[in-house]
Amino acid sequence: MTDQRRAAPAAAASLEGRVALVTGGSSGIGRATVLELAVAGARVVVADTNVAGGEESAGLVRGLGGEAIFLECDVADATQVRTTVEAAVAHCGGLDILVNNAGISGGASLLHELDLETWDQVMAVNLRGSFLCAKYALPHLMAQGGAIVNVASTYGLVGAPGAPAYCASKGGVVALTRQLAVDYGLRGVRVNAVCPGYVDTDMGGGRARLGPEGQAAANARREAAAARQPLGRQAHVDEIARVIAFLASAASSFMTGSIVTVDGGCTTTFNHG
């Protein structure tokens, strides 16, 4: 029996006194994560290009008696990311948790019909954005003993129709997660990823842009695909946020480099059309 002290369960899950930066926190999974981390006791910095949504997320936290601020930031822009991390640290006195959640789908297309701008944009937000945020956050995370949680996707683990750039970018996030875990474990930072399956969000405002009919058809396709999976439905955003909060907390203290599917079982079966 080793002499390793067990943390008290309640204290392990608490994020009291911790500071978290959540990218893409203006809506969807990001907003749910902002709220989940705040309820666990963290002070939260919401970073997003969507100003109205970000202010609303921070306001929701304050309405619950928590602490949050919004900072406008395009995660694909190195200067903006550096400035945002510096402002978060200056405002909160440090940084303990980074959730790399900002992401875009890039729409549906076969690779030979995909325009170069879309490929570059999806890579810039999903993969370069995760790199940039980690790059500027890591010095602070190392100083405090921190955690990074990357929001990848089941599409980074298996091929999916019509999503070449998205699948490649999320596959890159999965690989980056494992690589960072190797370099930063002994430097005091754990790095894990969640791979959500179908989650009921308006990813990238994409469905809103389709108009009512296209939106209904897209929703019907997602629901039909989700219905064929073991749990037979899409996830609620809170079901992803709870796992992110777990990976950000000391409750997951022996996990690093883990790629955690939160997908209703879809990657366990061939039957996920």
Provide the binding-site residues for ligand NAD, judged by CB under 6 A: 23-24, 26-30, 48-50, 53, 73-76, 101-104, 125, 151, 153, 196, 198-199, 201-204
Catalytic member of 136, 155, 166, 198 = 166
Q: Which is nearer to ligand NAD, 184 or 198 (CB)?
A: 198
Euclidean distance between CA atoms 134 and 157, whole angstroms: 21
Tell me how far, at minimum, the Cβ of 125 lies from ligand NAD, in Å. 4
Tell me how far, at minimum, the Cβ of 16 lies from ligand NAD, in Å. 26
Sheet of 19-23, strands arranged across: 68-72, 43-48, 19-23, 97-100, 147-151, 190-196, 259-262
Q: Which is nearer to ligand NAD, 146 or 197 (CB)?
A: 197
Q: Which is nearer to ligand NAD, 27 or 192 (CB)?
A: 27
Euclidean distance between CA atoms 141 and 135, whole angstroms: 10
Phi, psi of 11 (to 5 degrees): -65, -35
Q: Which is nearer to ligand NAD, 104 or 181 (CB)?
A: 104
Tell me how far, at minimum, the Cβ of 17 lies from ligand NAD, in Å. 26
Tell me how far, at minimum, the Cβ of 234 lies from ligand NAD, in Å. 7
Burial per residue of 94-104, b for 16 or more beta-carbon CB atoms within 10 angstroms, e otherwise? bbbbbbbbbbb
DSSP SS3 for 258: coil
> Are 207 and 219 within 8 A, CB to CB?
yes
Q: Known catalytic residue: 166?
A: yes
Q: Which residues are catalytic?
A: 166
